[in-house]
Each structure stands twice: as C-alpha cells, then as structure tokens.
Structure 1
Amino acid sequence: MKASRPRVLTQEDFDRFASLSRDDNPIHCDPAFARTTHFGATVAHGMFLFSLLCAQMQRSNPRPVLPIAQTLMFPRPTFVGDGVAAVLVLNETPGRDRIALDTSVRCVQRGRNRMAVTDEQITAQGDAVLLVDASAQSLAEAQRQDAGEVAQSAGHLAGQPAGDRTLYHLSVGQEASAVRSFSAGDIDEYVSLTDDGNAFYTDPVFAHSRGFEGTIVPLPLLAGMFSDLLGTRLPGRGTGWMKQSLRLRSPARLGELLSASVRIVRLRADKDLVNLATVVTGDDGRVVLAGEALVLVRNLEDKRPLEAA
C-alpha cells in the first residue's frame, strides 16, 4: 500500500478547482447554501479528489505512468478542514505495460464539520488502470484491446431498467453540452493546486518523445467538464456526485476545442438518483473520454415539476 502525506483541505482549494473546472456548484462554493443541505457544509469536488489520486499515482511510480481508466464512488462527503490521504493498493498487473490499482481517498484527520474519525474513513474509492512508459502507440493499442469493454459499458447503459419517466424538471433523454479548450495556464494551475506534475502534462519535449503532438490534458480536467455540466446545468446546481466511470479513448491536446456532453438515461425518483451517459469529443469528432455518472439530486436548487418547467 502506498499512501500520500495527509493534506488538509481548504475552501480556497474548492474555489480554485471551481474556477479551473467552471463547476461553481453551491455545494462546493457557497457555505450558506451548503448549510441548508444534508451535507451541512461545503464539500470537495469529486474530480478534485481524483486529481489527488492521480498525483499519488505519479509520485509512487519510478517510471512515467498515464492514467487511462478510473471508477470512483463517493460514499462519504469530504469537508473543509478534513485531512485526507490518497491511497493506492496494487491489484494486479494486466501486462508489463499496465498497472491495475485499488484507489481510495481517506479522511485521516477530522475537520470541524465532521463529528469524528475513529478509523480512516473512505471518502472516495474505486480502481484505476495506468499505462507504464506510455506512448501514443501504446495508448492506441490499449484502445483496441478495450473496445469490447467499452461496447459492454454502452450496452449496460442502454439495457438499464426504465426507471421513472420524470423527476422534478428532469426527463430521460435530456442532454446538456459545453465547449472549451485548455491552455498552458490551466495546466500550471492544475499542477499548483493538485501537485500532479505528470510529465505527460507538463513537459512538451517528453510528450513528443512518446509520440504525442505535445503535452496532453490531464484526465481529471477532462472529467471536470462533466463536473461543470452535472453541477450547473443537468441535473443542475446542488447535484451531488455518487459514482463516475472514466475511460480515456484518445489524448486531448492543449488548445484543442473539446465538447463535453451528458445525457440522462435513467431516473429513480424513490431515491433522488439520476444515471447519465458522459462523453468528451475532440475537434475532429473523435471520442476523447467516455463513461457514465450516477448523481444525487436531493439538494437541487430547481425542483420544479417537469410539467411546470
């Protein structure tokens, strides 16, 4: 097991990640609003916690690694003042160029908004797949090998039980999208905030030596485009992330115009849960990042019935 040094989270951390990801969901950024929710205080962005895991992946390996797949569940909120550690446990080695890990973010020190921490409480957990000494060629090969899993995941989404027709102002089939590009300044802020100084993101000469056109956009920033949409557009402000799967399909270049979209595939009114398909595409239409999200809409600012919307 490899664990990072504890880091005490601050509201400034949450605000900086909100600015970087464009997700200013009030559960992260508005203490007054957050106090009215079941959280009782502002909580960390899911992709900010993921970035701390990515930083530990990079620190823990003597050779460069590129995260290409991640699942994350968020069983407990992470508050301002909590001390957290990113923990990696070797699961298996699928091949000499891959590493599979069990990943978790654990609260090891209580903040003022947490009643107690008797043992290390897991606030995020999942699994990751990393490419070791990755290259553009090995990433393309990984895409071909994983094609069956991607198709199976798409089939899982399509084959889910029908669920409910509507929930608040939401309905199955609703979509939202956003377009943006990432600059060198965005990467500098990401590294400063998260300590994830992966050479694939920061060193153009190194990235070129591995067959890439230049440095590539970190996976947590790409997935942060989903955070923006889920937390501000669909389902909307007040949404809480419960689970996210991610699979990198192709590298995203700095300056490239990227389009992220989320689409509702299932509603569960009895539990205030929404399932969504999530995808980022590049400026040439290729799939960059794909996955699915499960979110809680208990705290939505807008709970108008669909008929009144």
Structure 2
Amino acid sequence: MTSIENFPIYELTVGQTASYSKTLTEQDVILFAACSGDLNPVHLDKDFAATTPFGEPIAHGMWTGALVSAAIAMRLPGPGSVYRGQSISFKHPVKIGDTVTITLTVSEIKERVKLVTLDCEAHNQDGKLIAKGVAEVIAPAQKQQVAIGVLPAIVIG
C-alpha cells in the first residue's frame, strides 16, 4: 500500500508549490456525468459535439475543478486539509486524451486560523493554460502520513 504525507500549517511557506496530473479518459467523462448528473451532450455525444466549436466531446469544466481538489488532498497541504472555497476561470476545453497538470502555489498563510490561500493553475500537455483560480484551504495542524488504497476497476458498458 502507498502512503502520502501532508504539510501541516507550520511547514508551509509562501511560494511553495506542488503539482498533480491526470489524463482524461472517456471513462472519466462518463463517470463524472453519472455522479454529477450533468448529461450535456457536448460531453457524451460525439455526433452532437461535432456540431459545436470544439468538434469533439469535451470534459465537464468541474472535472478540472475536481483535479484542484485532488491536488489539495493528495499534494498540498495534503491529507487532513479542508477545502473551503474556490474561484476558477476556464480558459480552454479539455478533450479526451489530454493530460491536465494542476499546479498549486501558496500565496498567503494565516497561521493563527490555519487558513492558506493557494493560487491554482491547470495546464494541458502542451503547456496551454486550461484554468486558473484561487483556493482557500484549512491546513492540517499536525503532521500525518496516511495509507491510500487503490480504487477497484470499474467497467462501463
């Protein structure tokens, strides 16, 4: 089993960064539609999506937002973080096969209340800015190392 470690508030510094990457699959789009209830055909119907300016299905915008959440939970500050708020602006679509890398940068620390502000950027495999924003996170007070499991395989279809 793999384990991950957090950065408690006292280990965080302004300018500190961390990244998290994931490649979008067709299964990701279907699962995101299923759990969110967003069945917009621009995400799920190749024929419909071909008639849009994108020419093919695109990811739900909040799939990228969910990657920000994963980056916070898994990288910075990591386990024990509480994701309080997010502003996000989407710049370009994400298509199946794109790899999105989220980069978090600590921009402000309010140690007394354990509140951390993170600048968030999402880029694709070509370095194109996909989304950007700012997150507010309550950082953990104590150092933790946590075991993480593996999700079971999900077969669609």
Q: Is the 1:213–1:253 Cα contact (8 Å) retained in structure 2?
A: no
Q: Which amino acid counterpart does residue 258 of structure 1 have in structure 2?
A: V
Match of 1:194 among 36, 46, 52: 36
SS in 2 for 1:214: coil
Provide structure 1 residue ranges, at least 5 long, that are not aligned to the other structure.
1-23, 25-165, 304-309
SS in 2 for 1:221: helix
Confirm whether residue 181 of structure 1 aligns to residue 23 of structure 2: yes
Confirm whether residue 265 of structure 1 aligns to residue 107 of structure 2: yes
Provide structure 2 residue ranges, at least 5 long, that are not aligned to the other structure.
146-157
Q: Please name the residue that 1:286 is paired with.
A: 128
Q: Per-residue CA shift, 1:212-240, capped at 9, x if unaligned? A: 13111111211111111111210110100
SS in 2 for 1:231: helix
SS in 1 for 2:27: helix
Q: Please name the residue that 1:223 is paired with.
A: 65
SS in 1 for 2:63: helix
For residues 99-110 of structure 1, the aligned pairs below 5 Å read: none
For the residues of structure 2 that align with 1:167 and 1:299, how far apart are their CA atoms?
6
Q: Give the alignment's Cα RMSD to 1 decimal.
A: 2.0
For the residues of structure 2 that align with 1:302 and 1:170, how far apart are their CA atoms?
14
Confirm whether residue 237 of structure 1 aligns to residue 43 of structure 2: no
Higher relative contact order (CA 8 A, sep 6+): 2
TM-score by length of 1: 0.43
Q: Is the 1:237–1:301 Cα contact (8 Å) retained in structure 2?
A: no
| Count of equivalent residues | 139
Change (3 A) 1:293 1:300: farther
For the residues of structure 1 that align with 2:142 and 2:50, how far apart are their CA atoms?
44
Larger radius of gyration: 1
